[in-house]
Chain A
């Protein structure tokens, strides 16, 4: 289980950054 954890977090890294960038861009458009 502890070996699988990093692999579960890999997609999370990009997704969190993408959410942040999209929110920033949308907020500026308004």
Chain B
């Protein structure tokens, strides 16, 4: 079997397994996995069928990669090349979006009440350093802590009004 066909078949199965991920993340994941395969083949020093099959076996089933990505605090076990995927990828952690997000969520909350943290959330969602799950948790923290007191306050006011209208008809 053509070795390129083996890789293409593997990436096809990965794409099918990753159907539940957002399209951009799916394309990114396919690119990362292909790069990982290329690097592993370069390290192995050959592209014969046995080497390609070994590399793909070491990567594990596409479903496991997608599960790890979905569950996702990081790459799946056995995935060792993430630090050497080249410039501009996920190696450093802190970029413009991340710094802007944290500054707007902290200082922005003090100096630009309500608007600051909401702008911060936009940068959080624009960042690729956090998974969708982590972005959702951060958004929920902001929204719940931001709006819960207002809801409680409205509830307390409504209670007071009802009590007053009962006591003073």
Contact = CB atoms under 8 A, between A and B. Distances in A.
A15 B93 contact: no
B130 A13 contact: no
Interface of B: 73-74, 93-94, 98, 101-102, 104-106, 108-110, 113-114, 116-117, 120-121, 124, 129-130, 134, 137-139, 141-146, 148-150, 153, 156
A13 to B, nearest CB: 4
Most chain A CB neighbours (cut-off 10 Å) among B74, B98, B129, B138: B138
Nearest to A10: B113
Given A20-B137, A25-B130, A27-B73, A13 B93 contact: no
If over half of B's interface residues share one DSSP class (helix, strand or loop), that class is named, otherwise mixed; here it is helix
Nearest to B111: A11
The A interface is mostly helix, strand or loop, or mixed, namely helix
Interface string A1-30: 011011101111111111011101111110
A17 B153 contact: no
Given A22-B102, A24-B73, A25-B94, A17 B138 contact: yes
Nearest to B157: A2
A17 B105 CA distance: 7
A19 B104 CA distance: 12
A9 B145 contact: yes
A7 B113 CA distance: 8
Given A17-B105, A28-B74, A9 B134 contact: no
